[in-house]
Amino acid sequence: MIGCSNPSELAAVLLARLRNEAIFPHRRVPDTVNPDDRSLSSSLEIVVLMESKKIVVFGSIVQDLVSYTKSFPRPGESVRGTSFHMASGGKGANQAVAAARLGASVKLIARVGNDLSLTAVAPPPATITVNEQGENTIVVTLGANMEPYGPKAERHEQIIANAALVMAQAEVPREANRRIFELAKKHGVKTFFNPAPGEPDPDKQMLALSDIVCMNESEAEFITNIPQQSLDDAKKAAAQVLTMGPQHAIVTLGGKGCVLATKDDPEIQHIPVRKVTAVDTTGAGDCFCGSLAYFIVYGGLSMKDAVERAAGVAALCVTRKGTQSSYWSREEIEREHPSLLR
């Protein structure tokens, strides 16, 4: 590793990497905000711009270290891998990429460490193992993503005020997430919270600040204490989350689709997903969240229709290996599955 004391140099390398890894067709190279802020000695806070200002994602950037193997090792066991690759990841970055590849204008507010490898920025790692069935296990070390923000969140108020939707996840400090959503509420901006990765002590304050909450079964169980063993359990969890503040609560169920609960609709709906052969499910939840944000802001759709289309886009990504690299572009979807966009 090579230490880097020049934030501008670090930002330039990171942005080049995001551009190359995420594959944004016909988009300008992203810019940075405050690249020379010397107060960020151990991390660099950046804003990656993907065109304009409609969706703001406040979240994490990590380095995915992905090993593919026939089966997961048991405790104490070593297994042979079939392939390995490194790529950009992190829930914040993944969701921003998913929305941008559909055509959204996105801003990603995130932090990375100040270490530099010979070829690219080295954000904190996420160690991922994928088996032959496309299932995965992930251990994420968040590093600079978890550094306290303090009053620094305020510098992004104008960016937030100009947004149509602000997204957040649970890979950054809670107090920073809350402040970002408080600023969004101050300016009447819609908020979308993905409480992932799940925690035994979930942030109930964030739920109260959220218009939309999207969680998987384990996250729903942490939040509601309702064991998730059936479709009815997911519906009960979604209904309970609505009592905590959000207008919409979604529980994703993998290949079984998802459930949607909405305050102005007494019926909790099960939304199935198209059947596909999964190759790698890594990042599918992030693809769903980013795609849903796109359809909410740009689709002019009901929430149910937006969720259905986002589920369809997320189903496509599991047919490819990788995380951000597995997300289909708008051009690809228009060519092969046009009904998802019309």
- List the catalytic residues: 286
CA 19 to chain centre: 17
121 vs 12, 13, 224, CA distance in Å?
9, 6, 38
Q: Which of 249, 255, 253 is nearest to 237 (CA)?
A: 249
Q: Is 280 annotated as a binding residue?
A: yes
Q: Is 14 annotated as a binding residue?
A: no
Q: Is 203 annotated as a binding residue?
A: no
- For residue 214, give the amino acid letter: C
Q: Rounded to 5 degrees, what are φ and ψ at 199?
A: -130, 145
Q: Is 282 annotated as a binding residue?
A: yes
Q: Is 171 annotated as a binding residue?
A: yes
Q: Is 177 annotated as a binding residue?
A: no
Q: Is 285 annotated as a binding residue?
A: yes
To 10 degrees, the CA torsion angle through 198, 192, 269, 277?
Answer: -60
Name, in order, each residue with C-beta under 8 angstroms of 310's C-beta and a sequence gap of 6 or more: 288, 289, 291, 292, 294, 295
Q: Is 70 annotated as a binding residue?
A: no
Q: Is 114 annotated as a binding residue?
A: no
Q: Report the 10 Å Cβ neighbour count for 212.
A: 24
Q: Is 317 annotated as a binding residue?
A: yes
Q: Rounded to 5 degrees, what are φ and ψ at 88?
A: -70, 140
Q: Is 245 annotated as a binding residue?
A: no
> Please, are residues 246 and 236 in contact by the beta-carbon 8 Å criterion?
no
Q: Is 162 annotated as a binding residue?
A: no
Annotated binding-site residues for ATP read: 216, 252-257, 285-286
Annotated binding-site residues read: 62-64, 90-94, 171, 216, 252-257, 280, 282, 285-286, 317, 320, 322, 326
Annotated binding-site residues for substrate read: 62-64, 90-94, 171, 286
Annotated binding-site residues for K(+) read: 280, 282, 317, 320, 322, 326
